[in-house]
Amino acid sequence: MHRIPIYKPYLDHSEKELVNECLDSTWISSKGSFIDQFEQSTKEYTKAKYCTTTSSGTTALHLAMLALDIKKGDEVITTNFTYVASTNAILYTGAKPVFCEINDRDFNIDVESIERKITSKTKAILYTNVYGFLCNYDKLKHISSKYGVYLVEDAAESFGASYKNKMSGTMGDISTFSFFGNKTITTGEGGMVLCNHKKHYDKIIKLKNQGNSDRTYFHDILGYNYRMTNIQAAIGLAQLNKIEKIISLKRKIFDTYHKLLNNKVRFFKGLDMTQPSYWMIPIIFKDITQKKKVELELLKNNIETRPFFTPVDTLPFYKDSDCKKAKKIFELGLLLPSYPGLTHKDQLKICKIINSKI
């Protein structure tokens, strides 16, 4: 039976060509022209002031926290409805994540509830654009300015999305991307940090390079090996060169699902001033029984789905919070196949099965 995966990267001959060029150059580690080209092309695409590649989205987030001098005793306001890497980056520094409720529209952080969580210990707000749907940046920026706290954008899932024509990856004092194998564009493993201030950029460069100084092999601060390889950057550059096509295909996939299923299930609804990237296609059922029936039938037909992110505050090494909405939609939510190469025929099959069980 034909298998339909939840996701697979959108690859063609261009990745092979650039990787082979990289191999021929012999520059295969963390130096080489493709790193520079990938960073420069991303800056041009996003209009970011500064950016640098990293070994993963997780290390990008860790570097963001370190660049802002977030440490033990500090608090960072964030959402419990996100991938665990986001909040783990807070724990890495010794700071405390303070969870905020999510809204009922796109299920991102509820901006209206953030101010109630701010204390004298609050150092930053870390927000995630969940599944490629953008948060209300204007309101977030207003709150961060009002209270003098940093704004960090976890844009791991929203590469290519925009807010009032401002690109995701530029809506924070520091923003981060992930280029994992299932992301909108991929380098296999990899990430990126983008920022507005040179002092943050310089600190990030130093930290990701083992705390290197101007003196050869002299390291004057504790640093990390958080670098991307030239081979990974070659893949990333090939991916970035076709980003408009990838985003266009993903938007068509969302439109088809929405047209065929909108009367049966609930979809996330992006803010009017945003253009989501539709990284994943999340749907919400009316009850658990309905979800389980659909999930099982899709599995029988060799169609892969995934549950929503487990609310972070329910994991063993986090303290539970009073944020209940994420726990509710986690029980009712399902992610559908959403890779750019998904055919219309396969989408019709998926929707037919879902409709037959509701």
Amino acid identity, position 268:
F
- Tell me the β-bridge partners of 112: none
Per-residue tokens: 107: 């299920």
d(CA 201, CA 64): 9
Please check the confidence at residue 1 and state whether its pLDDT lies above 90: no
pLDDT in tens, 185-198: 999 999 999 999 99
Res 255 pLDDT > 90: yes
Q: Residue 319: pLDDT above 90?
A: no
Q: Which CATH number fits domain 13-240: 3.10.20.600, 3.40.640.10, 3.40.50.1010, 3.40.430.10?
A: 3.40.640.10
* 212 SS3 class: strand
Residue ranges, CATH 3.40.640.10, the chain: 13-240
pLDDT > 90? residue 320: no
| Residue type present at position 69 | D
Domain 243-356 has CATH 1.20.1090.10: no
Is the pTM here over 0.85, yes or no? yes
pLDDT at 214 exceeding the cut of 90: no
Q: What pLDDT sits at residue 113?
A: 95
Give me the pLDDT at residue 167, please: 99
Eight-state DSSP code of residue 130: G
Q: Which helix (H) or strand (E) holds 217?
A: none
Closest CA to 42 of 66, 60, 23, 22: 60
Q: How far is CA 251 from the centre of its chain?
A: 17
Question: What's the whole-number average pLDDT of the chain?
Answer: 98
| Gyration radius from the chain CA atoms | 20
DSSP 146-203: HHT-EEEEE-TT-TT-EETTEETTSSSSEEEEE-BTTSSS--BS-EEEEES-HHHHHH
User: Which of 160, 84, 90 has its CA nearest to residue 125?
Assistant: 90
Return the amino acid letter for 33: S
Average pLDDT score over residue span 68-87? 98
Compute the distance between CA of residue 179 and CA of residue 187 in angstroms, rounded to an integer: 5
Query: What pLDDT band is residue 280 in, cutting at 50, 70 and 90?
Result: very high
| Cβ neighbours of residue 289 closer than 8 Å, sequence gap 6 or more | none
Report the amino acid identity of residue 344. H
Please give the Cα distance from 224 to 87 (Å, whole number): 19
User: What's the angle, vertex CA 249, arms to CA 44 and CA 251, rounded to 5?
Assistant: 90
* Distance, CA of 119 to CA of 125 (rounded, Å): 12
User: What does the alpha-carbon distance between residue 17 and residue 68 come to, in Å, rounded to a whole number?
Assistant: 39
- Residue ranges, comma separated, of all CATH 3.90.1150.10 domains in the chain are 243-356
pLDDT digits (tens, 9 = 90+) for 107-162: 999 999 999 999 999 999 999 999 999 999 999 999 999 999 999 999 999 999 99
Structure tokens at 310: 């487990």
The span from the CA of 298 to the CA of 257, in Å, is 15
